Structure formats: structure tokens, C-alpha cells
Structure 1
């Protein structure tokens, strides 16, 4: 575990972070960026693999990249930066596989309304990202009086007809992951956490929390396979939920849906009726400054479309943005992995307008939090997308020199503190 390259080894203490050499902060910064990108890509690849989609080139790159982060292997900044951008390339392929797997298994996405709240029957709240777990659960509650609700990033499940049309999928309850302690307590039924973004539960509800495979929390019950009978039994024992009704949510603006409307949109762009596209999304968080994204969206001009995805959408959903060309101005494209769809829309529009993506009237503002957000950002950089704003703060693992390299090469920048003023500069 220890190397002979730095003072830590000489002291016998070893390197921090299990082998990442701290001799050069830029080397360490790039190694950490690569590791975080790989972790995010691995989450997407795990979902794709469960749905039968794999790519040997992705697996080979993962091995090579992990090897490169070992102690005493690579202290070269240019070659590490190459690997970081290659991670973005490989993540694009992974997101493509996952998108294809979802459509092939669950049907062509469509726009629709999703009821919120709960009905007076036993209920299970499904959080996380794994649509296959949701599929298995829905199959197993058939013939019972148990209803299933989505939470957080499971909301986009309702855009796939195979899932949406299941009689036991009753609607959606709650918002982004950081609200779950309050929302899970209030829900009152059984809770199934299918992937990451699960917080350590409160004592008051941990006995009704179930997790799948590698996802686990103290006090919860971890399920190793696809048998959800224990979750269903707990929901039945807890009894009917209260009747609660909230505002309906609109989902389903998959890239295929948006590109299907491209001729009308392009015509409106040519006439000046559509002046800009904003991608406002990413991973949400609880720290101060996150209100920037909701303020930014609210100040977007009425002649613009706002594309959103990831749990960051919950920051901007609670506002009436009106319509444009007969479409809602706010277009929810889905989960964080549906960032592939935003890329497809940008590439499709650029092709139709015979220009580069960076020549489009496009502004990308991403809330920044965890590893999958890193993987998506690396994909955008691999594609050469410039002038992306991330926030509310610079990633701690990016050294000043590495951040400056990305600023100089790609125009990467931080969000400001005054959303209205920043919007006026767009």
C-alpha cells in the first residue's frame, strides 16, 4: 500500500486515500477526478449490465484507468488528463447503452401527467434509480391491495409505458434525496431504496426501510436478490396510508420526444420565436447556494426552453413557466443518466442548423454534488462542450491548476451568486 515517493511513506504513514500519492496536488487532483468519474460510470454500467447491456471496451478502460491510479504508476499530468477525458468518452457509451436498454424493455417514452400524494391502501415508496427493481416489485404486488409510489429520481419511470400502465404504480411522493428523512417519516409505508442517494434512516422509520444488493444502511433490511416479499409483507402490516393529493407533475420529454418536435422548434429559432435553450439540472444538495438554480430558471426569458434532468429538477419544478410552441417551457428529460438525451438533443439541433454544439443558443448550468455528476461533466468535456457553469462551489478535488486548465480549454466556470444578474448576461 505504501510507496517510496513522498514524505508520508518516509514517515511510515502511507499515502492518503489508499494509495493516491500526495506529492503533487495536480497529479492527486486528476487521479481523484478519474476515480470519481469511474465510480459514476460504474453506477450507470451496473444498471445497463442488469438489463443485458455490456461493452468490453468499457470494461477494459475501467481496468486500465484504475491501474493508472495505483501508487507509483502515473505521476504525469498530461497522460492523466487524457485518461480523465477518455472516462468521459466511455461514460457516453455507457449512458447510451442504458438509454437503449430502458427503451427496449419499457417502451417508447411519452409525455404524461403523474399524480402525487398517496391513496388509502398499503403502500411502498421506491427511491433510487433502478427501473428493473421497480419492474420486479410491481410484478410481485399483483393480486394484492398494495400500491407502489416513486420517489426522487424514480419519477421518470412514469414516462415508460410498460411501467406507467401497471395498475399498481399509483404515482409519486416526495422530492430530492436530501429531503428523504422528513419525507420517508411522513410517508408511513414501506420504503425500498434501490441504489445510492439513501441517507442513514431515523430511528422512527428504519424498521420499514429495505435496500437492494450493495445499497445498505444501519437499521435497514438489505435484500440480496429480487425477492421483495418482505417489503410487501411490511407494507401490508403497516396498513392503509392516508389520502393525500398534490399537484400533478409532467414527465416524458425523452430526447426522442423533443427531437420529434425539432422541425417546429428549428423553424421558431429561425424566426426568433425561440431565442435560447437552457439545460438546468444535475445532482441536488442541501448546502446554501442551491436556490441559485431555481432563481436562474425563473428568470429565463419567455422565449426559451428549459431542459432539466437529475434530482436537480426538484429545485425548479415548483414554478409555472408557461408554454412555448404548444409545449411546456420546462421539459423534464428524466434521471441523471438521461443526460445522454440532453447531449442527443444538442447534437441533433446542431446538425439540423449545420453548426457546432458550441454555436447553438445553449446555456448549461449544472448543480454539482456526487460521482455521477462528475462522469456526466467529463462526457460533456470529452465532446468539447464549452462554457458550462457548475456550482454552487468548485469541486474540492480539483486543484487550482487543474481547474484553470479546464477553464482555459473549455471555458468551465462557476455559477455566480446573483442568478438574475447572470441571466442578464446570457
Structure 2
């Protein structure tokens, strides 16, 4: 195996990358290799699907399979080799069906079907050993000796951004919002990558297209979430337990949480959120369930000791799972794209989770109440935009700092807590993603009734942050880069790469990114991106705050 797609990448060797028999995220060599092969197979589907769609023979079921399959290859999503073997078999069947649709459509128009090469010609081997041999030929560093590390790095930038795009699009799809323009662009970009492009300028240009595609997808996801559950509203969320039977829900998928809440209604079981599920409390339709009682624990990387202490079952709905300890392996369940060998996987029938909750003690006492406030999404913030604009013009609000992204276990992430705590009292801190757990328990106070800490939601809610920034720029009659605003982002995996590409594609400059740059960016690539897009690496928190204010 070789993998350098996330911030957990091993950096102890001569070049960044996890290799050997196990990655730092916990995935084994067979899992990592089968994921690489699945991406290869998906590119083959895209080669035919993009051509079929151009001829009016689109296969939207195939497009949705592409989204789901790519999602399973994100960091900390699925660690089950058998699931990938099954997905590879399905990918072969989907590819053959789309190929036949394309060829039939071409002939119906009097055209000779193209003879495609590369992933389009992949033939699944009949056994695991054969699949693993194939995987060895199609890893992310394929062609390194010929095209060089910069080209490989740019291909990875596009590919990993596309993984994030597909994950966000899948979240929207399960809520019923589907966009054929999104499907078409996903197929087109993956087909482009299937041809092993070598032009650095073309690859970098395509990366900005990935970013603009992600903006469309995040807009779609925002509409899916708010259309299903209402616009988030500022909400105080309990972070201490109450007496009673309990289920913990982690990940990102709001639909799974909604289904569980419906199935547990009237059972006497309390439901708690964890990690990126915290913002779910702000959605009116979800908050309407009285047994959604609070949030338990913090960011995803704390789950092993938090899940071990939780006195009930756990449902993991999307990316963020790490190896379950034996202490709770028998009571953790997965759903959607998530998987771990030996852990029971469910599909919208959560009765096994409910029965497990009934069999366990739950919380035996109610602890003194503590709360954090969430729900400052775009509608909530823009409803008071006049007050915010006036506060800036009067000098009451000096600067906006967006401090967010993915948290993680690696050293250097205390930076984000230190940064937020060093923001001056006349400035606002906006946050989204699980990086907020570094500081969201602190009392930041307010400025003229405007809370200084505004939690915009999940990483899935990045569209809210972008919308707020664009509206503020409109109100002040300037570009986003002229706003008194600094973006300080913590990246971990591929959704964060998609978001970063969106910000760069929108021309937003002087973004602070850390705690380290992605391992797939060579020094020369990093220098080019820093120069072209004004990207900055995080340094020392107090110094970075001071410099941001100096640039105002």
C-alpha cells in the first residue's frame, strides 16, 4: 500500500506517505489497495458515463453509485475488505451497463463508438489475490517514474478533491436532491483523470473546476438539509447527560439521525449527538424530538475513550470511525458508507440499536447542566446582518476570524484553540467543522448583543460560511478579500480538500492552512499554490493573529 491522502500521513520517511501493512488511520494493506482499485474502476465507469450522458443516454443510478463508491474510500470511512470486493463486483456490472448504453446510443446516432483504454477496460479478477495484484498497478503514484512527483501530486489534488465532492453530493442524494449537472461534471472530471493527464497547468485548472463543482454541491446539500429539517436556529445544546437509556449518534448524516429519532420516539430512550453531529440540534425538525437531549463528547479522534465510557450503543453514520476498542465493539453499529470488519452494518432499520440501548444501563444520574450554542448558519446570521454591518462601521467589531475545519490527533492542533482565544475582544470568531471543539466550551461573550463565537455548523455547512462572506462583501461594496476577515483552516481529509479548492476557486486569498500542508503537495507545488493563490501556512497563534490584524 501507499497512501498520502490525509493529514495522518506518515512523514518519517524520505517523502510523506503511509506504506507497509497498515496506515496511520488504521486501514490495512488489503483495504487500502482495494480502495485504490475501486477508484480505478469508478474512473472506468465515468469514461463511458460521460460519453453516454453527452448522447442523451445518462444513467443516473450509475452516477449515484459513483458518489457512494468514492465516499467509501475517504479517510476513516470504511475499513472492511469484503465490502470493497463486493463494491468492485458491482462497479464491473455498472461499468458494463453504462458501456452498453453508450455504444447503443452512439450507433443509434450513426456514430462509431470510441474504443476506450485505461480504466474503461478493467476486468475484475475472480479472487482477492487477483484483485490485489491489479491494485498494485493502479495506485495513486502510478507513473511516478515517468511524469514526476509534481504531476502525481496535482493528480492527487484533483482526485482527493473529487472524493470530498462525491461525499458531499452523496449526503444530498440520500435526502432526495439530485442534480444532473453535478453528475455530468463528476463524470467529466473523473474521466479526465482516467486519461492520466500530465500537463501541470491543465491539472491545476481542473483543480479549480473541482472547487467550483464543490460549491454547487454544497449549495445542493444546504438546500437538502434545510428543505428537510428547516433552517438552523441558534440553540443551546446540553453537553452533560441526563438519567435514562441512551444512544449515541456520530458522523455527519442528518437523515440517519432523523430516522433513528423517529424509530426511538416513545421508547424512553434518549439520543445524544457526537462529533460533527452537534449542529443537528439547531434544525427545527430534529430539535422537535424531545428525546434528542444533548451532545456527548468532542471531536472524532476522541471517540475511543468517549465511546468506551458511554453507557449505550453507538451509531456511526459517515466518515470519522476509527478502530473500535473491544470494550464497545459489540455495541457500535455502522450505516451508509461506513464499515469496520466485525461491526454490524445496518440500513435504516435501527431496531438492533434500540434493543441494545434497552439492554444497557444508560445514565444513572443527571449531571449539572452545561451548554454550548450552535445554529448560526446563513439565515440566522444574515437575519441580523444590518446589526453586524453597523457594528463594523461604528468600530465595535474590528475583524472576523473564521477558525474551523477538521480536528485531528496529530501534534500542532492546539494552535486553533490558542488562535481563537487570542482573538481580540473587539472581533468575532466564526467556526464550523469539528475544530471548534478546541474552543467552543469557552465563554467568548458578546459585542452589543452579537455573540463573539458563532458556530456555523458542520464541515458540510461550508456553504453558509461562503454565503455570509459574500453577503458581507456586498453590504460593504467590496470584494471578499477586502473584508476585515481572516480564514484559519484545519484540514484532515478529503472533504476539507474539496472545501479548500472551492475557496481558492472563488479567489479567496491569505487562507491560513495547517497544521501541515498535504503530503501530496511537493515543495515546488506548495510554492506554486502559495504564490498563485496566496495560501499561507499556520505559524505561531499569537503572531498569526497580530499579522492578520496588521493586514487589515
TM-score (norm 2): 0.73
Structure 1 segment 338-377 matched on structure 2, within 5 A: 338-377=461-500
Change (3 A) 1:288 1:246: farther
Structure-2 residue corresponding to 1:157: 280
Tell whether the 8 Å contact from 1:297 to 1:316 is kept in structure 2 after alignment. Answer: yes
Structure 1 segment 7-406 matched on structure 2, within 5 A: 14=137, 16-17=139-140, 19=142, 21-22=144-145, 23-70=147-194, 73-223=196-346, 225-243=347-365, 244-245=367-368, 247-406=370-529
What SS does the corresponding residue of 2:321 show, helix, strand or coil?
coil
What SS does the corresponding residue of 1:135 show, helix, strand or coil?
helix
The separation in 1 between residues aligned to 2:502 and 2:395, in whole angstroms, is 30
Tell whether the 8 Å contact from 1:201 to 1:218 is kept in structure 2 after alignment. Answer: no
1:18, distance to aligned residue in structure 2 (A): 7.2
The separation in 1 between residues aligned to 2:158 and 2:266, in whole angstroms, is 47
Post-superposition Cα deviations, 1:19-40, rounded to whole Å, max 9, x if no partner, equal: 4645321111111011111111
Q: Answer 1 or 2: which has greater strand percent.
A: 1
The separation in 2 between residues aligned to 1:422 and 1:160, in whole angstroms, is 34
Tell whether the 8 Å contact from 2:258 to 2:286 is kept in structure 1 after alignment. Answer: yes
Match among 411, 414, 421 for residue 537 of structure 2:
414
1:213, distance to aligned residue in structure 2 (A): 2.8
Structure-1 residue corresponding to 2:66: none
Tell whether the 8 Å contact from 2:376 to 2:455 is kept in structure 1 after alignment. Answer: yes
Q: Answer 1 or 2: which has greater helix percent.
A: 2
The separation in 2 between residues aligned to 1:18 and 1:229, in whole angstroms, is 44
For structure 1, the residue ranges without an aligned partner over 5 or more in a row are 4-12
The separation in 2 between residues aligned to 1:155 and 1:32, in whole angstroms, is 31
The separation in 2 between residues aligned to 1:191 and 1:73, in whole angstroms, is 41
1:372, distance to aligned residue in structure 2 (A): 0.5
The separation in 2 between residues aligned to 1:336 and 1:213, in whole angstroms, is 18
Structure-2 residue corresponding to 1:6: none
Alpha-carbon RMSD = 1.6
Max Rg structure: 2
1:120, distance to aligned residue in structure 2 (A): 2.1
Structure-1 residue corresponding to 2:72: none
Query: Number of paired residues?
Result: 414
Change (3 A) 1:209 1:15: closer
The separation in 1 between residues aligned to 2:376 and 2:202, in whole angstroms, is 38
1:246, distance to aligned residue in structure 2 (A): 5.1
The separation in 1 between residues aligned to 2:396 and 2:403, in whole angstroms, is 21
Post-superposition Cα deviations, 1:299-334, rounded to whole Å, max 9, x if no partner, equal: 101111100000111112132211112021010000
1:17, distance to aligned residue in structure 2 (A): 2.5
1:269, distance to aligned residue in structure 2 (A): 1.0
